[in-house]
Amino acid sequence: MNSTSYLLGRRAALLLAGVLASLSACSNDSGTATPDDSVDPSDTPLQVSLPNPPLTPAPTPADEPEVEPGEFNTVTGFTVVRDTGERLPDEITVELTEADFLAGPLPPVLQVPADVDQSVNAIPYFEDLEDQVAIAGQVLEVLYRPIDPDGGIPGMFPKKLLRNAEFRDNFNGSKSLIWLPLQTDVGIHEFTVTAIDPGNALYRTERTIRIKVIMPEDASSIPNVAPEFVEFLPHTVRVNDPVVLELKATDPNGAVPLIEVPDLPVGATLVQHPRYEEIAVLRFIPTSAGTTSIDVLARDADDASLSSTTTIDITVLDAVDFVRPGARLRALAAQRDLPIGFAARREFYHLPDGALYAGIAAEEFNVVTSENTLNMDVINPLPGRYQFADIDNLISYARTHDMQVHGSALIWHQQLPEWMLNSNPSDRRGHMQEYIHRVLGRYVDDVSVWALVNEAIGENGGMRDSIWFQAMGEDYIEIAFRQARMTHPGATLLLNDFDIAIDGPKADTLYPLLDRLLAKDVPVDGVGFQLHIWSDFDQFDEVRTNFQKVADLGLEIHVTELDVSIPALGNSSDQAEVYRQILSICLEQPACRSLKSWGFTDRYSWRGQYAPLMFDDSYQYKPAYEALQGEL
Model confidence at 23: pLDDT above 60: no
What's the CA dihedral at 7, 11, 17, 21 to 10 degrees? -30
Lowest mean pLDDT among 35-49, 53-67, 228-242, 336-350: 35-49
503/250 Cα distance (integer angstroms): 50
Question: What are the tens digits of pLDDT across the range 266-304?
Answer: 999 999 998 888 899 999 999 999 999 999 999 999 999
Identify the pLDDT of residue 187.
94
Which residue in 278, 364, 371, 455 is the catalytic one? 455
Q: Residue 230 — pLDDT band, cuts 50, 70, 90?
A: confident
What pLDDT is attached to residue 93? 61
CB atoms within 10 A of CB 475: 14
Q: pTM to 2 decimals? A: 0.83
* Percent of all residues in the chain with a pLDDT value above 90, rounded to a whole number: 87
pLDDT at residue 85, as a whole number: 83
Task: Identify the pLDDT of residue 92.
Answer: 57
Q: Give percent above pLDDT 70 in the chain.
A: 92
Residues 316, 286 contacting (CB under 8 angstroms):
yes
Would you state the pLDDT for residue 88? 81
> Residue 128 contacts by C-beta under 8 Å, 6 or more apart in sequence?
143, 145
How confident is the prediction for the chain on average, in pLDDT?
91
Query: Is the predicted pLDDT of residue 29 greater than 50, yes or no?
Result: no
Q: Identify whether the C-beta of residue 477 lies closer than 8 Å to the C-beta of residue 495.
A: yes
CATH number of 324-631: 3.20.20.80
CATH topology of domain 98-221: Immunoglobulin-like (2.60.40)
Catalytic residue among 561, 577, 588, 631: 561
Using the predicted structure, report yes or no on whether residue 203 has a pLDDT greater than 70. yes
* Whole-number Cα distances in Å, 259 to 73, 170, 279: 19, 39, 8
pLDDT band at 94 (very low <50, low <70, confident <90, very high): low
pLDDT at 132: 97
Known catalytic membership, residue 418:
no
72, 273 contact by CB (below 8 A): yes
Q: Are β-strands 449-454 and 492-498 bridged in parallel, bridged antiparallel, or unpaired?
A: parallel
pLDDT for 232 equals 86
Q: List phi, psi (to 5°) of 470.
A: -60, -35
The stretch 503-530 carries a mean pLDDT of: 98
CATH class for the domain made up of 224-320: mainly beta
455 among known catalytic residues: yes
Cα 120 from chain centre: 44
Q: Say how far apart CA 5 and CA 361 lie, in whole Å.
A: 43
For residues 227 and 250, the answer to whether their CB atoms sit within 8 Å is: yes
Is the predicted pLDDT of residue 260 greater than 70, yes or no?
Answer: yes
Q: What is the DSSP string of 32-77?
A: -BPP-TTS-GGGSPP-B---SS-SSPPP-GGGS-EEPPGGG----S
Q: Please, which residues bridge with residue 558 across strands?
A: 528, 594
For residue 579, CA distances in Å to 563, 570, 622 come to: 8, 14, 11
Q: What contacts 270, CB < 8 A, 6 or more positions away?
A: 259, 261, 264, 280, 281, 282
Read off the pLDDT of each residue in 496-517 and give the average, rounded to a whole number: 98
Stretch among 95-99, 319-323, 435-439, 541-545 having the lowest mean pLDDT: 95-99
What interhelical angle do 354-364 and 389-400 show, nearest 10?
50
Residues of the chain with CATH 2.60.40.10: 98-221, 224-320
Q: Is 108 exposed, middle or buried (0-12, 13-18, 19+ CB in 10 A)?
A: middle
Residue 36: predicted pLDDT: 35
Dist CA 123 CA 197 (whole Å)? 7
DSSP 157-179: EESSPPTTEEEEE-SSS-EEEEE
* Cα–Cα distance, 590 to 609 (Å, whole number): 35
* Residue 521 to residue 399: CA distance in whole angstroms: 34
pLDDT at 312 over 60: yes
Q: Quickly state the pLDDT bin for 181 (edges 50, 70, 90).
A: very high
**Contact present, 531 and 18 (Cβ < 8 Å):** no
pLDDT beyond 80 at 91: no
Amino acid (one-letter) located at 303: D
pLDDT tens for residues 549-559?
A: 999 999 999 99
Residues of the chain with CATH 3.20.20.80: 324-631
d(CA 541, CA 586): 12
The pLDDT value given to residue 378 = 95
Could you write out the DSSP letters of every residue in 446-471? T--EEEEEE--B-TTSSB---HHHHH
Q: Is the pLDDT of residue 9 over 50?
A: no
Res 610 pLDDT > 50:
yes
How do strand 367-370 and strand 404-407 relate by DSSP bridges?
parallel
Identify the weakest region by mean pLDDT among 108-117, 224-233, 420-429.
224-233
Residue 432 has pLDDT above 50, yes or no: yes
Determine the 3-state secondary structure of 492 from DSSP.
Answer: strand
**Average pLDDT over every residue of 86-90:** 77
Arithmetic mean of pLDDT, 183-189:
93
61: number of Cβ within 10 Å? 6
Does residue 6 surpass a pLDDT of 60?
A: no
Q: Is the pLDDT confidence value at 10 over 70?
A: no
